[in-house]
Amino acid sequence: MPVAPKTSITLLKDLAGSSASVRWNEFVARYDGLMRGFLRTRFPDLEADDIVQNSLVSLAKALPEYHYTPDEKGYFRDYLIGVVRHKALDAARRRGAEADKRRRFAKERDCHRTSPDDAPWREALMNAALEQLMSDSSITPRNREIFRHVALLGETPERVAADFGVSRGNVDVIKKRMVDRLRTLVAAMSENG
């Protein structure tokens, strides 16, 4: 890791006084190597440009409250590296969460893939779930009919709304709820079958 430059109290005060200070270029020239060197050694897999940029944004917000007192709080370079480390850990967490989401999505997608040989089984499963849904006594006959017309017979939601004397939004809500229940039934039957 590069040697930390000597801290300029004047520079820190100027930056604390204005986040738009032209002295930010001087700050970056002075501390960029230190920040990137730390990232190269501790977080080599992360995108240094983004982390340095995020660190500078945090510093711009924090410097008005920061008071350089090396005897009490330690050296500025330690404070700066702490900010960079924090931003790198945030980036690593986000990266891990994104990778986890991709793994879960791929696993879920693979679970729903079927081969051509599975087509008759999937169709039978869907028909059984649909039959169970349409005979569910907790669903009103009107809602079953609205769902049948819009989802199974392919009528437009506007026409179904007019025929049943309900709003278009109501038709959409009924269809969504019924489709959600159908998915739940299919999933349950898949696990048991």
DSSP string, 127-146: HHHHHHHHT-TTS-HHHHHH
Domains detected in the chain: 9-109 (1.10.1740), 116-192 (1.10.10.10)
Average pLDDT score over residue span 165-182: 92
Task: Answer yes or no: are the C-beta atoms of 174 and 147 closer than 8 Å.
Answer: yes
Mean predicted confidence (pLDDT) in 163-190:
90
105-114 average pLDDT score: 59
- Please tell me the predicted confidence (pLDDT) of residue 170: 94
Position 58 pLDDT exceeds 90: yes
pTM above 0.85, yes or no: no
Distance of alpha carbon 10 from alpha carbon 123, whole angstroms: 75
**What does the DSSP assignment read for 99-117?**
HHHHHHHHHHHHHH---GG
Over residues 128-173, the pLDDT tens digits come to 888 898 988 999 999 999 998 998 888 899 999 999 999 999 999 9
